[in-house]
Amino acid sequence: MKQYILVMDQGTTGSRGVVYDTTGNVVAIDYAEYKQYYPQSGWWEQDAGDVWQVTLKTSQNAIAKAGITGADIKAIGITNQRETTVMWDSETGEPVYHDIVWGCRRTAPIVERLRQEGYNAMFNHRTGLVLDPTYSGTKIRWILDNVPEAAEKSKQGKLKFGNIDCWLLWNLTCGRVHATDCSNAARTLLFNPYEGKWDDALLAALDVPADILPEVKDSVGYFGTADPKWFGAEIPITGIAGDQSAALFGQACFEEGSAKNTYGTSAVPLMFTGDKAPRTETGLMTLAWGIDGHLSYSMGASILIAGQVVQWLRDKMKFFGKSSESEAMAASIPNNGGIFFVPAFTGLGAPFYDPKARGMIIGITADTTQEQITRAALESMAYQTRDLLEDMAEHSGIALKELKVDGGAAQNDFLMQFQADILNCRVIRPKDIETTAKGACYLAGLGCGVWKDQSELKDLWEADKVFEPRMGDTEREALYEQWREAVKRSAGWARG
C-alpha cells in the first residue's frame, strides 16, 4: 500500500497543505490566505484561531484532492513563519490576544530600552542575534504588559507561549503536546543556540516566566500524534522547522557555504555553516536544524518586505490584477527610469536594524510610470538580498559562488535575472520552487524512516533554470550605490 507525507506549510499570508509521495514528489496541494490586521502604523497581527483553521482546512483539502484518506498518511511535517508569537490559555486553548506577526514593530520601545540599558551585547553573545522587534521575546513582554488577561493567566500558571509551529502542534494533539523545534526556538531571543537550551539570563532580562515556554526538540523525530478527529486517523508528527531552515533543507544545502534565498512575503537569504556557529555583531547567526541531537548552523536574516511590496502594488495601488503581471510590466521598459523603491513598510531589518525607517519611492518625475515603479519594487528585493549576502560574506569569510532560489517570486524571470546581475553570480532555480514545504517533507520523512540520511535527499534535488550575470560592472555598482543612498534617506522617518 502506498504511503504519503502531509506537510502543513504555514506562511505569513496563507497556508498550504501539501501531500507528497514517498519519493518526495507532490501529489496534491491546496492553498488559502488569512486576514492580516494593521491596527496602527507599524503594527501587524493575525487571528491565531483563523490561522489554525485555514492551515487545517488546506491540509484536509490536499488529502481529499490526492484521493486518499488520513490512514494513508505516514507522517506529518510542519513548517511555519518564524518569530510570530501566540499566547493562549492552556485550559481552554483560546488565544489571549491576536498573534503578533514577526514584522510587527510595536516593540521598538522595549528594544530601545534594553539597548540603552546595555543589554545588546549580552543578547548578541547568547543568541547570535541582535536586539530587534522581529523576535518573539519582546512580543511576549508586550503582551504580558498590555493584555491584562495574559498577565493574570500567567500568575495562575495557565498561560502558554509558542510560535506558530507550536500552536499548530498544540491544536493537532488537542493540547497534549507543548513543544517546538530548535530552529524556531532560536528565533525567540530566549534560547541559547550555542548551548541548545532556554537561557535563564535572557528570560530574566525580558522578565519572561519559564513555565510558559515549550519543550525544545530536534527538528527530526517524534513530536506527538495528530488526533484522529482531524484526518480520520492518528498520524505521527515527525518533522518541524521554521520556514527558512526548511527551505535551506529542501534546497539540499548541506555543505558549508551553500546558500539559498526564499522570496515570499519576506525574503531570507541563508548560508549553511555546518558545525560552525559564527558570532557576528550584526546578528546573522542562527540555528539551521537539529538531527539526532546534533545542531547545525547557518547565517542569514529576514528582509522584512519582499513579495509583500508586489501585493501592495496589486491590492492598494491597483497597478495590476495579478502579482504575476509585474514581470511583464518590469520587462517592458529598458531600465527603472531612475526610480528606487525602499519598501520599509514596517522598518528595515538586517543589516540596518532601523525600526523607524519607512517606505520610500524616490526619483519620481512627471514622466514616471507604473511600469517604472513596478520594476523598482521588484529590483528592491534583489538589492536587499545583496545587502545581506555581502554582510554574510564579510563576517563568515566565505565568498558567495551561487545562489539557489525558491518561493513564489522565484518564478519571476525578470527578478531572477536582475538578482544574478546585481550579485554578479549564478542564480539557480530548482524544478520544485516550493522548497519550504519540500524541506518539511524531507525532515518528516527522515523522522518516520522514509529516508535514511541526507545523502539520499541530495540526489533528489534538480535544477530548472540557471541565470548567469550579464550586467557590466560599472552599471551594477552605479545602481547599487544609488540604492544604498536611497536606503539612507528612508532611515529614521517614523516619529515617536
3-class secondary structure per residue, 197-244: EECHHHHHHHCCCHHHCCEEECCEEEEEEECHHHHCCCEEEEEEEEHH
Please say whether the beta carbons of 65 and 32 come within 8 A. no
- Known binding residue 421? Answer is no
- Known binding residue 311? Answer is yes
DSSP 8-state class, residue 134: T
Q: How many CB atoms lie within 10 A of CB 364?
A: 12
Please say whether the beta carbons of 3 and 22 come within 8 A. yes
Report strand pairing: 220-226 vs 235-242: antiparallel
DSSP 8-state class, residue 117: T
- Known binding residue 12? Answer is yes
Kind plus residue range of the DSSP H or E element containing 8: strand 4-10
Amino acid at 232: G
Q: State how far the Cα of 29 lies from the Cα of 21, in Å rounded to an integer.
A: 12
Length in residues, the chain = 496
- Known binding residue 454? Answer is no
In our burial notation (b when 16+ CB lie closer than 10 A, e otherwise), range 193-219 reads bbebebbeebbebbebeeebbbebbbb
- Known binding residue 472? Answer is no
Largest CA distance in the chain: 66
Query: Torsions phi, psi of 267, nearest 5?
Result: -135, 140
Q: Quick one: the chain helix, strand, coil %, rounded to 5?
A: 40, 25, 35
Q: Tell the residue number behind the cell numbers 493574570, with chain if given.
A: 152
- CA dihedral (204, 205, 211, 212) in degrees, to 10, reads 170
Cell numbers representing residue 426 in the block:
549564478
Q: Which residues contact 464 (CB under 8 A, 6 or more apart)?
A: 429, 430, 431, 433
| Bridge partners of residue 298, in order along the sequence | 272, 286
- Known binding residue 250? Answer is no
Q: State how far the Cα of 414 lies from the Cα of 399, in Å rounded to an integer.
A: 25
- Known binding residue 308? Answer is no
Using a 10 angstrom Cβ sphere, with 0-12 exposed, 13-18 middle and 19 or more buried, the burial of residue 357 is buried
Cell numbers representing residue 399 in the block:
565568498
Please say whether the beta carbons of 329 and 335 come within 8 A. no
- Known binding residue 23? Answer is no
- Known binding residue 412? Answer is yes
Please say whether the beta carbons of 398 and 256 come within 8 A. yes
- Known binding residue 370? Answer is no
Annotated binding site for sn-glycerol 3-phosphate: 12, 82-83, 243
Annotated binding site for ADP: 12, 16, 265, 307, 408, 412
Annotated binding site for glycerol: 82-83, 243-244
Annotated binding site for ATP: 12-13, 265, 307, 311, 408
Annotated binding site: 12-13, 16, 82-83, 243-244, 265, 307, 311, 408, 412
